[in-house]
Structure 1
């Protein structure tokens, strides 16, 4: 395996360069990430299709990762129940060191294969579920052994890696390889690799939620009304979709039914959705 993510930066003597030049160069490197993802879109599409099928049939989706990529996957997963109104437990994260220690960033745990196996077994995974390994290097022991165990258990797997021909990609049923090249700071995969991971998480989870019917038109009709800003947005959404012209009337209907989707269903005279 060629560890492109560990190759020397294209730039040197960074400490001698002025701020404006540094930010310009970083921006130039960041601009290459979308093009790298574009090359992998067929792989991404196959992975998303598999996730949708699993979730439609009552399965669960898991990100499994360590380090920056694992932490970014937590940020993606925790937003979905609010944004799309899905039950907690549909999209999950198995994080090296534990989600409860997210802010502590226990990097040494990425080598702990026993923890990986223990966390997997606690989830009581079945063939209905899907696990997506996250590893910039493509060789993180926590992720690699986790995917191998999934294969033994008959659990479908995917992965997101940034080196070609990696052990993790070889262990995944649905690998996604996004080759972003050497980092601006040699080996600092929180940069371009992290940017690619964040973009992919957005792409995967958003497309999955659309395919599951959690979006109508271009609107978050199942968004949970957890604060004033979101409630105001939902009221205006309901007014637009229903034709109700009075803000307070629309708000009362929205609060009664709990979401734009349920309010529209009630207004149309059908049964309330779950």
Structure 2
């Protein structure tokens, strides 16, 4: 039982989503915009959506959690690639892989080297949604972690100013009736916060981005620190980027996983 609980901590930290029943969340406090501020906010949003975004990420990270009475952190490597490719490895202090996982838009494979067991299933499965809620599809994970907005989303937004006048809030509703809020700093133009509410008004997730890293060659940016809190998360999750190796897309083989033949395999619903 303890092994099962510990195993379930790494993926929520990676995906930044450990969603429980939750309770009603609070929307941001805002001020109405005057004509000048409305123009400024519109230009800022258009520039943000049009900015150059990385197609991929290959990085070393440190995952931290203080969730459900358990507190700790683990070193890991993560590879992400648009639109929905993921490879993740949690490592012990000697650099040996404890857990490996790969996923695409339709399926995933998770290998727990500690117990010699493999989990396989679909990203629409009940098992997968016990880690990643239905509100965050495989194609949306990259931007939730990378501080961007998926292409084609948020074309019609409501603009408001935050009460401290440090930036602007932009909110919209998606096809699943989820309400999204995004906060841009008016000086840097960076996405500093995202909020996601379900149709009932419950907080699904809250993300705060900081310490953006800019690659000098490509100009791509990626948040160096991500902090996840919220009324639907009983604790705090953090992702600290320790080193970015590349934003260059890799071949499909990097996102395939062939477990050792002696491992047991479980097809999960």
Please give the TM-score of this superposition, normalised by the length of structure 1: 0.28
Considering fraction of residues, name the structure with more strand. Answer: 2
Considering fraction of residues, name the structure with more helix. Answer: 1
CA radius of gyration, larger in:
1
Please give the TM-score of this superposition, normalised by the length of structure 2: 0.29
